Every structure is written in C-alpha cells, then in structure tokens.
C-alpha cells in the first residue's frame, strides 16, 4: 500500500510538460506515457477512486462545440456563452472520468452564478467518458501531446483578448494549473480541487495569477504533505496560493461520488465563487 500511495502522489495530474508558449506553433511535449501506464495499471492506485453513482443532468443553456487544436485535429467542449458580449472566460477541466454530466452541471452552475462570463468545459478525452475505474485508468493514458494540444486549442479558441480563469477537479485540478501556466498573461485566476500541483519552481515563477487550492485532509492520493510542498514551492516562486483543507476524502465535492461531503462542498463552492468573481471582475 505504501508504494501505491507514493505512486498516487505523482499521478497523471502532474502535467509539467505542458508549460509552453501557446502563442507559438504546436510543439511535441515530453512523453510520459510509460509513467502514466504504470500508474493507471496499478490496481491499488485505481481502487483509490470510488466509482461514480449514476448521475444525469440536462443543460438549459450549453451546447457541445468543436474547436481546432494545433496538432491539426479538432477537440470538443461544452460551451455556455455569456448573455452579453464578454472577454471574460472560465475554462473548466474534468475529473479523470471525463466530460460527463456532473462536470456539465458544475460548468452551468458556475455560469449562472458568475454572470456575463463565458464558460467552456474542455473535453480532454475526445468524446470518451468512463463509468468504471478500469475505463478511467485507460483514458488517463491518453498521449501527453494530445492533452497539451487540447489545452492549447481551448486557449486559442477563446482568443487573444480573453481574460481567462480556470478550474478543475482531481485530474482536472492539475489541468487547471497547467492551463494557467499555458495561458501566460491572459491567466487571471486558477482554482485547483485536489489536483497534483506543479513542483517545478522555475515554471511556477511564470504564473500570471495566484491560485486557490481546495484539498481533503483524508486524501491519500494528494495528501497534506504534497499540499504543504506546493505552498512552499509557490512561496519560493514568489507567487500566492490560498489553501483550504477540509476533513474529507479525495473527490469530496463530486455529488456522484459515494464519499461526497455536502457541507465541505458548499463551503468550498462559496470560496470558489468569491475568488472567481474577484479575479474576473472588470
């Protein structure tokens, strides 16, 4: 079990290789697929993730779209356009299950509560959604180059004048931080829910925004020690991070998770909403 937890601490959410200039042409990123395969094939690691309960959500305002990616392909996203023209954008990054109804619901909830902010939930799995641990463990082994291209494509889609905040959970928590790094000066906010933080201090120095981190004290995948290291690294990089630690397990904010903690989720959402409103204000 000790080896499993050590592996979990370096899970696929660590996407340091994505930190490249989105304005330039697409460049291949470091291939860590072998590491991903090792983690995702570890039964003990996979079992750290509770399988989601059935969850259905019907959107009233969002539509699935396609956008171009710098590797010559297209990617998908769930788009909710601001009622009034706006250069404010929130990029939403999925858990390791994929862009499922839970993530779409969270995107629409944020859209309704933020007001006049465009919201794009990015599909990192090219249309695939997992319902079992085994399926998810295969999907997270997507080539690193493709994941990087999808994030670059999403940033390109919102345009050079966009002011971008990002949010993600679990797998998407790490994505949110990497998206902020990719966004450069366009990044104005970043929320990480129990995602593996970036550990490269030099890369953290390039962040254009502070970070709000939401974590669970009972999370053996992203344990408090990892969070403390992130705080230390951010301080060394001269960047601000605000951490809120709840007495809860991994993925506690997901209502389709058997370990869902309603009280912690509500409090974390209030913190998140206040943070995003402040960072995206005119």
Looking at residue 131, what DSSP letter applies? Answer: S
Predicted pLDDT of residue 76? 98
More confident position, 267 or 16: 267
- Evaluate if residue 50 carries a pLDDT over 80: no
Name which of 260, 274, 21 is nearest 155 in CA terms.
Answer: 21
Q: Please state which of the ranges 118-122, 144-148, 149-153 shows the lowest mean pLDDT.
A: 144-148
Residues with Cβ < 8 Å from 134, sequence gap 6 or more? 46
> For residue 238, how many other CB atoms are within 10 A of its CB?
10
Sheet holding 88-93, edge to edge: 63-68, 74-80, 118-123, 88-93, 163-169, 187-193, 211-216, 241-246
Q: How many residues are given for the chain?
A: 282
Separation of alpha carbons 121 and 106, rounded Å: 9
The pTM assigned to this predicted structure is 0.88
Domains of the chain by residue range: 2-280
Q: How confident is the model at residue 67 (pLDDT cuts 50, 70, 90)?
A: very high
- Evaluate if residue 188 carries a pLDDT over 80: yes
Domain covering 2-280, topology: Rossmann fold (3.40.50)
Q: Give 250-253 contacts, CB < 8 A, sequence gap 24+.
A: 250/48, 250/49, 250/170, 250/194, 250/216, 250/218, 250/219, 250/220, 250/221, 250/222, 251/49, 251/50, 251/95, 251/169, 251/170, 251/194, 252/194, 252/216, 253/169, 253/193, 253/214
């Amino acid at each position: 079990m000790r080896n499993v937890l050590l592996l979990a601490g370096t899970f696929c959410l660590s996407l340091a290789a994505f930190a490249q200039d989105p304005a330039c042409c697409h460049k291949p990123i470091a291939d860590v697929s072998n590491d991903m395969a090792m983690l995702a094939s570890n039964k003990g690691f996979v079992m750290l993730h509770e399988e989601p309960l059935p969850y259905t959500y019907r959107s009233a305002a969002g539509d699935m779209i396609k956008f171009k990616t710098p590797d010559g392909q297209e990617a998908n996203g769930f788009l909710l356009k601001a009622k009034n023209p706006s250069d404010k954008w929130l990029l939403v990054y999925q858990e390791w299950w994929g862009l499922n109804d839970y993530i779409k619901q969270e995107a629409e909830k944020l859209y309704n509560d933020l007001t006049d902010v465009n919201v794009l939930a990015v599909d990192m799995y090219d249309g695939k959604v997992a319902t079992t641990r085994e399926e998810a463990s295969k999907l997270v082994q997507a080539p690193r180059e493709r994941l990087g291209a999808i994030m670059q494509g999403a940033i390109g889609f919102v345009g050079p004048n966009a002011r971008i905040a990002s949010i993600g959970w679990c797998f998407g928590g790490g994505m949110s931080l990497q998206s902020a790094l990719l966004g450069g000066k366009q990044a104005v906010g970043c929320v990480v829910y129990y995602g593996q933080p970036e550990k490269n201090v030099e890369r953290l120095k390039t962040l254009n925004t502070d970070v709000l981190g939401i974590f669970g004290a009972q999370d053996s995948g992203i344990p408090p020690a990892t969070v403390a290291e992130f705080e230390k690294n951010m301080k060394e990089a001269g960047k601000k991070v605000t951490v809120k630690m709840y007495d809860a397990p991994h993925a506690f904010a997901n209502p389709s998770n058997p370990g869902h903690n309603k009280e912690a989720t509500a409090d974390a959402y209030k913190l998140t909403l206040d943070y995003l409103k402040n960072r995206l204000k005119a």
